[in-house]
Structure 1
């Protein structure tokens, strides 16, 4: 069971910030062998959804209000530590992120830029593909929407 905490950027302590950047780098840069600028200046506008297991950060997303990233509310940097994926924590962290948008932002439409191979995962959470596949940082992505 994940312990999920949601914080705005200025509420994060140094360890939480270090842990989330480390997890993002571990998966998006090292595991996926993708050199890109993860620290993109957008974290300050985001809500950070942190999923802990035994005091270790194992799942994470960042969530944006309407207009702060896309025209719709959005969820990005969805990540689960490789050794913990068999627990299906991706669903837990995404459901918490969707709940944040619905209950705190009072929004129902959510746009994401999903890695194409994860389309089925997002479909199970109520997202549907829109538009054509495109490359983002050398990885195939597709826009998906939930409304």
Structure 2
């Protein structure tokens, strides 16, 4: 990532997560250093961002996180397209891993529509209700042996 792209990503994350959602947390958690960053720019303005993390870094599964769309660009399905691309990336790159996300609870239906299933109950993360959700990778599913008569 260029310095400009890095600055744009950190700025958008802070603008939405810290300011708009009034959540005080440490954004620079060290995971960005090993992440694959997906950014969508229009006219040099960052409108959507997410990071993809390998299995074993944050969770045993691969993860998608810091998924954010600029408030001025909402309603254009940029988030949906971004998550679809993140899913495709993680499933292709880490072929034996499911994908786990820490989703804001109010977005549960959005992520369910993209194939994620909720695991567990709502919990507080930095003052915002969250859910753990997992998308099962068809290639990582255990093979059921055929029963022989």
Alignment of 1:95 onto 2:84 = yes
The 1-side partners of 2:43 and 2:17 are apart by: 23
* Larger-gyration structure (1/2): 2
Aligned to 2:28: 39
Alignment of 1:112 onto 2:101 = yes
Q: Specify the SS of the correspondent of 2:66.
A: strand
Q: Per-residue displacement from partner, 1:42-63 (whole Å, max 9, x unpaired)?
A: 1101110111222211001111
Q: Specify the SS of the correspondent of 2:51.
A: strand
Q: Which runs of 4+ in 1 moved over 4 A?
A: none
Q: Specify the SS of the correspondent of 1:87.
A: coil
| More strand per residue | 1
The 1-side partners of 2:44 and 2:5 are apart by: 11
Alignment of 1:145 onto 2:134 = yes
- Normalised by the length of structure 1, the TM-score is 0.89
Q: Specify the SS of the correspondent of 1:51.
A: strand
Q: Per-residue displacement from partner, 1:12-63 (whole Å, max 9, x unpaired)?
A: 1100100000000010011101111111111101110111222211001111
Aligned to 1:4: none
Alignment of 1:16 onto 2:5 = yes
Q: Specify the SS of the correspondent of 2:74.
A: helix
The 2-side partners of 1:118 and 1:55 are apart by: 28
How far 1:108 moved relative to its partner? 5.0
**Count, aligned residues:** 136
How far 1:68 moved relative to its partner? 1.2
Q: Specify the SS of the correspondent of 1:58.
A: strand
